[in-house]
Amino acid sequence: MSTTPQDGEGQSVKAKVKEITGKVTGDREVEAEGRADATPDDDPASVDEAKQEVREDHGDVLPD
């Protein structure tokens, strides 16, 4: 039995750690980057969408 991360598992764990670190430290930018890193596409729009979601989650802006 292998305990090494499989394809993509390491990246998703890294993204989740980054998101949680951002939540704990109150750094919304890092939290948004973690959410964006968790998405499989490299589309810059997905990063903006993740940042917007974090802002909405924290009540910084009203949802569209």
How does pLDDT run along the chain (64 residues), one tens digit per residue? 555 556 567 778 898 999 999 999 999 889 888 888 887 766 677 778 888 888 888 877 765 6
Residue closest to 37 by CA, chosen among 58, 54, 55, 61: 54
pLDDT at 48: 80
pLDDT at 41: 67
Q: What is the CA radius of gyration of the chain?
A: 13
